[in-house]
């Protein structure tokens, strides 16, 4: 599949649909003019080519809203993470604003009065962009930009910008572009108010299409093209998964919160060379390596994209072809940062995404990483049944982890009882080679064996299964 790049866009293509202004909002129409200082992470509202090519780091004001269902400490923690996301995107958070509201304001999310307060703060600190911790509707974003006199973004736009910078493979670029286009489509600004309508054809009545309609149709065509490309990739993945299921090798997927140490763990276990950086979303594309376990079994171990709180739905949808490796795994190795200030919240965010992709029923092995940074990982492992504390940096706990993976994988195998005739020593050797023999008894007819076998191996031994055994 050719590398997917952003489609050519006419000037002023991005933004939001025009909405009726609230009479009580006192919106300064000149605030959205071209003479204002606008940043906006490049394509997400500004005029730059994108953060990766910017000559300066934008100054950002963060805005969070505390609702009745969560306390102010949760809001502050979420803003701390948003600050890290902004830094990863290539900008600096210089100030933050918190507000308590029972429900978001329909027009401006924070209310017109609070928006004017944020504008005064933004002017005082000379910020380029205001980033909200919650997702804004197109109408809210449009109204806020007019009130603030600068670009208003939400958490989703920041994460999309980070993914766009980090995507490297054709598949990853296509997935990120699809997520971006789904985000941008409802936010097309009403450029038709300034651009003349295209003339209708001969024999037609009324005006032709507006530029807005042309832009919208172009984005929809590109979305359909990317969806088709990713469906074909998903088909290839399903074929590979079926081929793997016919072998005796099983698969485990490393999942977890972003920057928890998933890639470091894969490198430590399999001697892989996946790039490791101390920043959010350093890994987007899955990497699979073989892992030999202490019991002699071999598993395919896959490193996957990290999750985060409030992960944009557009990204989850676009990355479903990549996340198929999670859904098809026999075991999830859930890596948790043992030095995290809120490990329970991080685990809950990961499991929320697993539920969304229908992978929440897959057996899970919890691994608390970074035991070299203190006693946090060990304490968390002690309170969590079946969990393991490790350090991917130093190698501490790796033998225990590999043993735990082997034990969990053996539980996936099917336990069967076989009667192997004495003249079929080759079959008996195959049982020992491809499975785990739990018990063997010599009889007059042959060797009666109770063993744990993978589905593919068990199917091949169907003629020797004792009556009453169940092999699909």
Lowest-pLDDT range, 51-55, 172-176, 226-230, 424-428?
Answer: 51-55
> What are the backbone dihedrals phi and psi of residue 348, each rounded to the nearest 5 degrees, phi first?
-65, -40
d(CA 319, CA 393): 29
Structure tokens at 96: 């933050």
Lowest-pLDDT range, 2-6, 128-132, 201-205?
Answer: 2-6
Q: Is the pLDDT of residue 423 over 60?
A: yes
d(CA 317, CA 313): 6
Higher pLDDT: 182 or 26? It is 182
Mean pLDDT of 408-432: 84
Share of the chain above pLDDT 90, in %: 33
Q: Is the pLDDT of residue 159 over 70?
A: yes
Higher pLDDT: 77 or 24? It is 77
pLDDT tens figures, 106-142 = 999 999 999 999 999 999 999 989 999 999 999 999 9
- DSSP strand pairing (129-132 vs 151-154): parallel
> What are the backbone dihedrals phi and psi of residue 449, each rounded to the nearest 5 degrees, phi first?
-125, 130
Share of the chain above pLDDT 70, in %: 76
Q: Is the pLDDT of residue 317 over 70?
A: yes
Residue-level pLDDT at 137? 92
Domains of the chain by start residue, with CATH: 1-192+208-246 (3.40.50.11060), 248-410 (3.40.50.300), 413-464 (3.30.70)
Q: Is the pLDDT of residue 335 over 90?
A: yes
Mean pLDDT of 328-356: 90
d(CA 192, CA 344): 49
Residue-level pLDDT at 439? 86
Q: Is the pLDDT of residue 337 over 90?
A: yes
Residue-level pLDDT at 327? 86
Q: Which range, 23-37, 264-278, 389-403, is most confident?
A: 389-403
Q: Is the pLDDT of residue 2 over 50?
A: no
Longest dimension (CA), the chain: 96
Asked if 311 and 353 touch (Cβ cutoff 8 Å), the reply is yes
Q: Quote the crossing angle between the two packed helices 398-412 and 262-270, to the nearest 10°.
A: 90
Q: State the average pLDDT for the chain.
A: 79
Would you give the distance in Å from CA 54 to the centre of its chain?
A: 26
**Which single residue is written with the structure tokens 């286009």?**
181
Structure tokens at 218: 């172009």
Q: Is the pLDDT of residue 27 over 60?
A: no
Q: Is the pLDDT of residue 189 over 80?
A: no
Q: Is the pLDDT of residue 14 over 60?
A: no
Residue-level pLDDT at 468? 46
d(CA 440, CA 431): 11
Residue-level pLDDT at 147? 94
How much is the pTM? Answer: 0.71
> What are the backbone dihedrals phi and psi of residue 329, each rounded to the nearest 5 degrees, phi first?
-75, 155
pLDDT confidence tier of residue 31, bands split at 50, 70 and 90: very low
CA end-to-end span of the chain, whole Å? 37
Q: Is the pLDDT of residue 170 over 90?
A: no
Pick from 48, 39, 199, 65: which is nearest to 136 by CA?
A: 65
Q: Is the pLDDT of residue 23 over 70?
A: no
Residue-level pLDDT at 101? 93
pLDDT confidence tier of residue 254, bands split at 50, 70 and 90: very high
> What are the backbone dihedrals phi and psi of residue 215, each rounded to the nearest 5 degrees, phi first?
-65, -45
Q: Is the pLDDT of residue 236 over 50?
A: yes
Residue-level pLDDT at 383? 92
> Which long-range CB contacts under 8 A does 109-114 form with residues at least 24 apart?
109/65, 109/134, 109/136, 109/137, 109/140, 109/144, 110/63, 110/65, 112/22, 112/24, 112/25, 112/26, 112/147
Residue-level pLDDT at 112? 92
d(CA 271, CA 252): 16
> What are the backbone dihedrals phi and psi of residue 460, each rounded to the nearest 5 degrees, phi first?
-70, -20
Q: Is the pLDDT of residue 379 over 80?
A: yes
Mean pLDDT of 343-361: 90
d(CA 389, CA 142): 48
Higher pLDDT: 84 or 315? It is 84
Q: Is the pLDDT of residue 3 over 50?
A: no
In this structure, the number of other CB atoms found within 10 A of the CB of residue 26 comes to 12
Write the Ramachandran bin of 22: left for phi over 0, alpha for psi from -120 to 50, otherwise beta: beta
Q: Is the pLDDT of residue 369 over 90?
A: yes
pLDDT confidence tier of residue 50, bands split at 50, 70 and 90: very low
287-320 in b/e form (b: 16+ CB < 10 A) is bbbebebeeebebbbbbbbbbbbbbbebbebbbb
Show Cβ contacts of residue 96 under 8 Å, excluding neighbours closer than 6 positions.
61, 62, 63, 64, 79, 83
Q: Is the pLDDT of residue 66 over 80?
A: yes
Higher pLDDT: 271 or 46? It is 271
Pick from 409, 260, 273, 392: which is nearest to 329 by CA?
A: 409
Mean pLDDT of 195-199: 49
Our CA angle for 291, 292, 294, nearest 5°, is 135
Cα dist from 374 to 96, 140, 262, whole Å: 31, 44, 19
């Amino acid at each position: 599949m050719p590398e997917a790049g952003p489609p050519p866009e006419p000037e002023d293509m991005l933004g939001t649909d025009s909405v009726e202004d609230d009479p009580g909002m006192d919106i300064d129409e000149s605030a959205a003019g071209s003479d204002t200082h606008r940043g906006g992470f490049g394509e997400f509202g500004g005029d730059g080519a994108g953060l990766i090519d910017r000559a300066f780091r934008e100054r950002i004001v963060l805005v969070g809203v505390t609702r009745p269902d969560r306390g102010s400490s949760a809001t502050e923690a979420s803003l701390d993470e948003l600050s890290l996301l902004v830094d990863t995107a290539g900008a600096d958070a210089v100030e933050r604003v918190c507000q308590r509201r029972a429900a978001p304001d329909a027009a401006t999310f924070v209310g017109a009065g609070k928006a004017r307060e944020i504008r005064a703060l933004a002017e005082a600190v000379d910020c380029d962009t205001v980033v909200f911790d919650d997702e804004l509707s197109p109408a809210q974003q449009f109204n806020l930009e007019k009130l603030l006199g600068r670009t208003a973004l939400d958490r989703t736009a920041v994460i999309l910008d980070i993914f766009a910078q980090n995507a490297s493979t054709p598949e990853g670029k296509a997935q990120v572009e699809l997520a971006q286009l789904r985000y941008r489509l409802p936010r097309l600004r009403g450029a038709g108010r300034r651009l003349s309508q295209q003339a209708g054809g001969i024999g037609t009545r009324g005006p032709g299409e507006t530029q807005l309609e042309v832009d919208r149709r172009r984005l929809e065509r590109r979305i359909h093209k990317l969806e088709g490309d990713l469906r074909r990739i998903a088909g290839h993945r399903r074929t590979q998964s079926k081929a793997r299921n016919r072998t005796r090798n099983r698969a485990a997927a490393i999942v977890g919160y972003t920057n928890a140490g998933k890639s470091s763990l894969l490198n430590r276990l399999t001697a892989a060379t996946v790039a490791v950086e101390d920043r959010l979303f350093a890994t987007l594309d899955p990497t699979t390596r073989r892992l030999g376990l202490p019991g002699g079994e071999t598993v395919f171990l896959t490193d996957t994209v990290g999750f985060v709180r409030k992960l944009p739905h557009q990204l989850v949808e676009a990355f479903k072809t990549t996340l198929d490796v999670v859904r098809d795994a026999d075991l999830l190795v859930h890596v948790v940062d043992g030095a995290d200030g809120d490990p329970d919240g991080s685990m809950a965010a990961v499991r929320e995404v697993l539920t969304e992709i229908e992978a929440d029923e897959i057996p899970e092995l919890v691994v608390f990483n970074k035991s070299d940074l203190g006693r946090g990982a060990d304490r968390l492992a002690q309170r969590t049944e079946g969990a393991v504390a490790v350090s991917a940096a130093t190698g501490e706990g790796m033998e225990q982890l590999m043993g735990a993976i082997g034990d969990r994988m053996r539980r996936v195998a099917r336990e069967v009882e076989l009667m192997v005739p004495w003249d079929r020593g080759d079959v008996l050797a195959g049982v020992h080679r491809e499975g785990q023999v739990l018990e063997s008894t010599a009889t007059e007819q042959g060797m009666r064996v109770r063993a744990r076998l993978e589905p593919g191996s068990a199917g091949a031994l169907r003629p020797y299964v004792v009556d009453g055994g169940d092999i699909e």
